[in-house]
Protein backbone atom coordinates (compact mmCIF):
# COMPACT_ATOMS: atom_id res chain seq x y z
CA UNK A 1 0.00 0.00 0.00
CA UNK A 2 1.38 3.38 -1.02
CA UNK A 3 -0.11 5.40 1.84
CA UNK A 4 -1.77 7.83 -0.58
CA UNK A 5 -5.23 9.03 0.28
CA UNK A 6 -8.07 8.26 -2.11
CA UNK A 7 -9.31 11.39 -3.87
CA UNK A 8 -12.11 13.21 -2.10
CA UNK A 9 -15.30 12.36 -3.97
CA UNK A 10 -19.04 12.44 -3.50
CA UNK A 11 -22.34 12.30 -5.34
CA UNK A 12 -25.53 14.32 -5.36
CA UNK A 13 -28.80 13.61 -7.13
CA UNK A 14 -30.70 16.37 -8.92
CA UNK A 15 -33.97 16.06 -10.82
CA UNK A 16 -34.22 18.22 -13.95
CA UNK A 17 -37.06 20.72 -13.56
CA UNK A 18 -39.15 21.90 -16.49
CA UNK A 19 -37.87 25.49 -16.15
CA UNK A 20 -34.29 24.22 -16.59
CA UNK A 21 -34.94 22.90 -20.10
CA UNK A 22 -34.68 24.68 -23.43
CA UNK A 23 -37.09 24.79 -26.37
CA UNK A 24 -35.80 21.39 -27.54
CA UNK A 25 -36.73 19.85 -24.19
CA UNK A 26 -33.10 19.35 -23.14
CA UNK A 27 -31.46 20.53 -19.94
CA UNK A 28 -30.12 23.97 -20.93
CA UNK A 29 -26.32 23.94 -21.21
CA UNK A 30 -25.84 26.73 -18.64
CA UNK A 31 -27.61 24.70 -15.95
CA UNK A 32 -24.81 22.14 -15.91
CA UNK A 33 -22.64 24.83 -14.29
CA UNK A 34 -25.34 25.43 -11.67
CA UNK A 35 -25.48 21.69 -10.99
CA UNK A 36 -21.66 21.56 -10.71
CA UNK A 37 -21.79 24.32 -8.11
CA UNK A 38 -24.47 22.50 -6.14
CA UNK A 39 -22.47 19.26 -6.29
CA UNK A 40 -19.22 20.81 -5.04
CA UNK A 41 -21.08 22.72 -2.30
CA UNK A 42 -22.58 19.44 -1.09
CA UNK A 43 -19.17 17.77 -1.24
CA UNK A 44 -17.86 20.50 1.07
CA UNK A 45 -20.88 20.03 3.37
CA UNK A 46 -20.17 16.27 3.49
CA UNK A 47 -16.77 17.20 4.96
CA UNK A 48 -18.42 19.13 7.81
CA UNK A 49 -17.90 22.58 6.28
CA UNK A 50 -20.21 25.00 4.57
CA UNK A 51 -19.45 27.64 2.01
CA UNK A 52 -21.36 30.15 4.15
CA UNK A 53 -18.99 29.49 7.07
CA UNK A 54 -16.01 30.06 4.80
CA UNK A 55 -17.45 33.35 3.53
CA UNK A 56 -18.30 34.46 7.08
CA UNK A 57 -14.61 33.99 7.94
CA UNK A 58 -13.45 36.00 4.89
CA UNK A 59 -12.52 33.13 2.56
CA UNK A 60 -14.12 33.16 -0.87
CA UNK A 61 -13.69 30.60 -3.63
CA UNK A 62 -13.67 32.28 -7.03
CA UNK A 63 -14.22 30.25 -10.17
CA UNK A 64 -11.20 30.80 -12.43
CA UNK A 65 -11.76 28.07 -15.02
CA UNK A 66 -14.63 25.79 -16.02
CA UNK A 67 -15.08 23.30 -18.84
CA UNK A 68 -17.98 21.07 -19.86
CA UNK A 69 -18.13 18.31 -22.43
CA UNK A 70 -21.70 17.43 -23.36
CA UNK A 71 -22.12 13.84 -24.53
CA UNK A 72 -25.87 13.19 -24.47
CA UNK A 73 -28.77 15.45 -23.47
CA UNK A 74 -30.58 15.31 -20.16
CA UNK A 75 -34.32 15.96 -20.28
CA UNK A 76 -37.12 17.20 -18.07
CA UNK A 77 -37.73 14.94 -15.04
CA UNK A 78 -34.50 12.96 -15.49
CA UNK A 79 -32.92 12.06 -12.17
CA UNK A 80 -29.24 12.87 -12.55
CA UNK A 81 -26.34 11.80 -10.38
CA UNK A 82 -23.40 14.16 -10.32
CA UNK A 83 -20.14 12.69 -9.08
CA UNK A 84 -17.66 15.34 -7.95
CA UNK A 85 -14.00 14.56 -7.29
CA UNK A 86 -11.25 16.84 -6.05
CA UNK A 87 -8.47 16.12 -8.52
CA UNK A 88 -5.87 18.56 -7.18
CA UNK A 89 -5.49 21.11 -4.44
CA UNK A 90 -2.78 23.54 -3.50
CA UNK A 91 -2.58 26.15 -0.75
CA UNK A 92 -4.68 28.53 -2.87
CA UNK A 93 -6.49 26.40 -5.51
CA UNK A 94 -8.91 23.51 -5.73
CA UNK A 95 -9.61 21.58 -8.93
CA UNK A 96 -12.72 19.45 -9.37
CA UNK A 97 -13.86 16.89 -11.92
CA UNK A 98 -17.58 16.30 -12.56
CA UNK A 99 -19.42 13.41 -14.16
CA UNK A 100 -23.16 13.63 -14.85
CA UNK A 101 -25.04 10.34 -15.12
CA UNK A 102 -28.59 9.28 -15.86
CA UNK A 103 -28.64 5.81 -14.34
CA UNK A 104 -25.25 4.48 -15.51
CA UNK A 105 -25.16 6.51 -18.74
CA UNK A 106 -22.56 9.31 -18.82
CA UNK A 107 -24.24 12.48 -20.14
CA UNK A 108 -21.60 15.12 -19.46
CA UNK A 109 -18.24 15.65 -17.82
CA UNK A 110 -16.52 18.77 -16.69
CA UNK A 111 -13.87 20.38 -14.57
CA UNK A 112 -13.36 23.56 -12.61
CA UNK A 113 -10.64 25.46 -10.83
CA UNK A 114 -11.41 27.62 -7.79
CA UNK A 115 -9.02 30.12 -6.22
CA UNK A 116 -9.10 31.23 -2.60
CA UNK A 117 -9.46 35.00 -2.38
CA UNK A 118 -10.30 37.59 0.26
CA UNK A 119 -13.11 40.13 0.05
CA UNK A 120 -10.85 42.53 -1.86
CA UNK A 121 -10.25 39.90 -4.56
CA UNK A 122 -6.66 39.16 -3.57
CA UNK A 123 -5.41 35.58 -3.62
CA UNK A 124 -4.96 34.16 -0.14
CA UNK A 125 -4.06 30.71 1.22
CA UNK A 126 -6.92 28.42 2.13
CA UNK A 127 -7.45 28.36 5.89
CA UNK A 128 -5.81 25.59 7.94
CA UNK A 129 -9.21 24.44 9.25
CA UNK A 130 -10.35 23.91 5.65
CA UNK A 131 -7.31 21.82 4.75
CA UNK A 132 -7.57 19.80 7.99
CA UNK A 133 -11.24 18.93 7.38
CA UNK A 134 -10.61 17.69 3.85
CA UNK A 135 -9.73 14.15 4.83
**Which residues are known to be catalytic?**
22
CA distance 114 to 84: 14
Containing 42, the helix (H) or strand (E) segment is helix 29-46
Q: Categorise residue 7: left if φ over 0, alpha if ψ from -120 to 50, beta otherwise.
A: beta
Between strands 9-15 and 93-102, the pairing is unpaired
DSSP 88: E
Amino acid sequence: MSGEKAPLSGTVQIRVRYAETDQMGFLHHANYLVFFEQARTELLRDQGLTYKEMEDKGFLLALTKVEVRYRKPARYDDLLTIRTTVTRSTLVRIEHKYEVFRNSELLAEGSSTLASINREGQVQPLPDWFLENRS
